[in-house]
């Protein structure tokens, strides 16, 4: 059955990020990277990553979106491997170096981070934690417990983030520039109650 959507209508539906966001991701890639693009959608970003890196695995759960991305566009680059699967349960390839997760609405950040760590992945380029700008999360960094951190911004491996309060006299403008990588934040504790 043929779609009644034009290519531009279809692209507008599945293009939640602008080229500036994609460019931020692309600027952080290395030629030897093997990427796992989680929630690859219409493969727009995956196609742009492929010429820069060694290999891109593009995981998309929706077969209709993936099929249209493959059929409506130019042939896929040889180093771009589309995978129609649920990344939450997919066994990740063993040759990965970097994850890419552009998904502001992501509710599984902790799961993806843990799976990537278990696959030996060192970096996750994402907007899922802060729901705004793209960041490169060092998945192998030693994290402090939330209780051990001082006043200031924090980002947790569970996906939680926020500002840890403290005495006003300890605040300085430099604290706005530092984000502590933590574990066991208040969101972790809330999450554990419901799992």
Per-residue model confidence as pLDDT tens digits over 76-113: 999 999 999 999 999 999 999 999 999 888 888 889 99
Query: Domains of the chain (ranges plus CATH)?
Result: 1-140 (3.40.50.150), 142-195 (no CATH)
Q: Which one, of 31, 181, 60, 177, lies nearest residue 117 by Cα?
A: 181
* pTM, full prediction: 0.80
Q: Which residue has the higher pLDDT, 127 or 104?
A: 127
Task: Identify the three-state secondary structure at position 6.
Answer: coil
The two most distant CA atoms of the chain are separated, in Å, by 66
d(CA 127, CA 21): 9
Bridge partners of residue 136, in order along the sequence = 125
What are the φ/ψ torsions at residue 99 (nearest 5 degrees)?
-100, 150
- Note the pLDDT tens digit of each residue in 135-166: 999 998 888 889 988 888 888 888 888 888 88
Give the Cα separation of 132 and 140 in Å (integer).
23
């Amino acid at each position: 059955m043929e779609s009644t959507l034009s290519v531009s209508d279809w692209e507008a539906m599945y293009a939640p990020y602008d080229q500036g966001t994609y460019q931020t991701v692309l600027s952080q890639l290395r030629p030897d990277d093997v990427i796992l693009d989680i929630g690859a959608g219409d493969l727009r970003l995956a196609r742009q990553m492929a010429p820069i890196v060694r290999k891109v695995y593009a995981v998309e759960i929706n077969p209709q979106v993936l099929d249209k991305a493959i059929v409506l566009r130019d042939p896929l680059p040889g180093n771009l491997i589309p995978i129609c699967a649920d990344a939450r349960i997919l066994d990740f390839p063993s040759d990965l170096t970097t994850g890419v997760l552009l998904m502001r609405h992501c509710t599984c950040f902790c799961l993806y981070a843990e799976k990537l760590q278990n696959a030996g992945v060192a970096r996750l380029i994402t907007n899922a934690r802060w729901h705004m700008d793209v960041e490169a999360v060092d998945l192998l960094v030693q994290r402090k417990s939330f209780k051990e951190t001082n006043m200031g911004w924090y980002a947790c491996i569970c996906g939680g983030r926020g500002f840890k309060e403290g005495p006003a006299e300890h605040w300085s403008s430099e604290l706005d520039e530092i984000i502590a990588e933590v574990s066991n934040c208040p969101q972790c504790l809330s999450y554990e109650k419901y799992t």
